[in-house]
């Protein structure tokens, strides 16, 4: 069962040396500039007192550091905070949770970026079509083919990364399935390969049939990749919530 720590009435801060500037963009708290705290680039959720700039020093409420994997206990009677190092026992479980969270976050960021690269082929092919139609040199077919091959290579690389990361997460007791996303991407690439074939043929025949087949396959490729990105985002939210509530 997830442990809860009483925070609301205790003002506990960790002092970090350093001058802070231009912090007011995040607002103020009791006359002090609010500082945004991120962990590996992801904003930490503030549920009580925020991070502030006080006397040119950054003051971080210690409860926020718990989200970065730092455990602690508060002794009300003796007014003492005891910070726990993540070295063994339950703390090693906390470390697994944090590592799992960041592994999942990195994996989903990469997967979404791959989907964005795949959908971008529609723009590439459209520019190549304009090049053929206008007899210009904006994006020649050779460049369109190179971009397609780069996407295919990146897909293979990221698919291997996803598979290895999913296996690693199982060591933390976290089971994730991204087959629905990668299948959409795989199908999208197949459509784009067909789209390129018809576009290349159109460059010689200028056949309306070849053009329609090029366009239809390009649209199907975009739809599959876009839907894959939507699934990716939905899955990320689901698995992120699982990990945040995960007790190994």
Q: What digits encode the pLDDT tens for the residues 174-183?
A: 788 889 999 9
Q: Which of 62, 84, 106 lies at the terminal end of a domain, its last residue? A: 84
Residue 6 lies in a domain: no
Residue 182 lies in a domain: yes
Q: Which of 28, 53, 84 lies at the terminal end of a domain, its last residue? A: 84
∠ CA 76-81-82, rounded to 5°: 125
157 and 217 share a domain? Answer: yes
Task: Give pTM, 2 decimals.
Answer: 0.62
111 and 176 share a domain? Answer: yes
125 and 233 share a domain? Answer: yes
What is the domain-level CATH number for residue 229? 1.20.120
Length of the chain: 248
Q: Rounded to whole angstroms, how far apart are CA atoms 176 and 167?
A: 9
60 and 136 share a domain? Answer: no
**Angle, helices 179-205/208-244, rounded to nearest 10 degrees:** 160
Tens digits of per-residue pLDDT, 89-134?
455 566 666 777 788 888 899 999 999 999 999 999 999 999 999 9
- Is the pLDDT at 1 greater than 50? The verdict is no
50 and 146 share a domain? Answer: no
Of the listed ranges 66-75, 160-169, 188-197, 208-217, the one predicted with least confidence: 66-75
73 and 30 share a domain? Answer: yes
Residue 71 phi/psi, 5-degree rounding, is -90, 155
232 and 134 share a domain? Answer: yes
Q: Rounded to whole angstroms, how far apart are CA atoms 89 and 103?
A: 21
26 and 141 share a domain? Answer: no
Tell me how many domains the chain contains: 2
Residue 3 lies in a domain: no
Q: Which of 84, 111, 132 lies at the terminal end of a domain, its last residue? A: 84
77 and 155 share a domain? Answer: no
135 and 79 share a domain? Answer: no
Average pLDDT value over all residues in the chain: 81
- Write out the residue range of the structural domain in which residue 119 sits: 90-244
Q: Rounded to whole angstroms, how far apart are CA atoms 149 and 193?
A: 9
């Amino acid at each position: 069962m997830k442990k809860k720590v009483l925070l609301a009435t205790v003002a506990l801060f960790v002092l970090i040396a350093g001058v802070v500037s231009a912090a007011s963009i995040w607002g103020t708290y009791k006359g002090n500039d609010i500082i945004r705290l991120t962990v590996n680039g992801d904003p930490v959720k503030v549920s009580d007192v925020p991070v502030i700039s006080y006397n040119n020093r950054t003051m971080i409420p210690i409860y926020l550091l718990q989200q970065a994997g730092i455990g602690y206990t508060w002794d009300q009677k003796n007014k003492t905070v005891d910070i726990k190092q993540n070295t063994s026992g339950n703390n090693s479980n906390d470390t697994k949770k944090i590592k799992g969270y960041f592994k999942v976050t990195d994996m989903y960021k990469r997967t979404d970026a791959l989907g964005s690269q795949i959908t971008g082929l529609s723009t590439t092919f459209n520019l190549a079509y304009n090049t053929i139609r206008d007899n210009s040199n904006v994006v020649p077919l050779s460049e369109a083919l190179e971009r397609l091959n780069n996407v295919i290579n990146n897909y293979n690389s990221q698919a291997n990364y996803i598979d290895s990361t999913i296996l690693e997460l199982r060591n933390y007791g976290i089971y994730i399935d991204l087959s629905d996303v990668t299948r959409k991407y795989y199908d999208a690439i197949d459509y784009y390969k067909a789209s390129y074939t018809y576009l290349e043929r159109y460059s010689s025949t200028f056949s309306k049939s070849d053009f329609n087949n090029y366009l239809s396959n390009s649209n199907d490729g975009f739809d599959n990749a876009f839907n894959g990105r939507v699934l990716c985002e939905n899955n990320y939210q689901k698995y992120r919530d699982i990990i945040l509530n995960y007790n190994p």
